[in-house]
Amino acid sequence: MLHSRWISRSTLVLAGVCAAAALTACGSESNPAPTGSSSSTTASATSKPSAAPKPASPEISDAAAGQLCDMIRPELSNWRVQGPTLGKIGLNALVHEWALRNGGINGAVLADKPVIDRVTTKSCSDVRQQAIEALSIPDLAAGLAF
């Protein structure tokens, strides 16, 4: 009974996160350039496009890293049984919940998904490896869809 309640809660969390992501992706621009306008193609052939600044890696405390490991560990057996497709959904829900619990670092994780691998490699490499094997992915960042 407890297990089925968790699945419902994680499904609701995931649905809420997806809805929030969809709403934030639908932002509007006050003066969008019309399609095919010359203003969108005014860069000269000799100018180099400016590189977007790389976002800073989020600061994740050792306590938060340990919490992520503690959240992943009990899910490993579920992911092995559920298979990679459902397991990845569970991983996404778990990482979102963890990020929200730790000061809303969700945006930072979105900008730097490999931070999850760096944190788990440092704090619980065995748990990370078991999760990678259970989800059939090359690294945890590859399993994050957000």
- pTM passes above 0.75: no
In the predicted model, is pLDDT for residue 11 greater than 60? no
Give tens-digit pLDDT for 89-123. 999 999 999 998 988 777 778 888 999 999 999 99
Closest CA to 62 of 111, 122, 138: 122
Give tens-digit pLDDT for 27-43. 444 444 445 544 444 44
In the predicted model, is pLDDT for residue 83 greater than 70? yes
pLDDT of 59 reads 78
What distance in Å separates the CA atoms of residue 121 and residue 129, rounded to the nearest whole number? 9
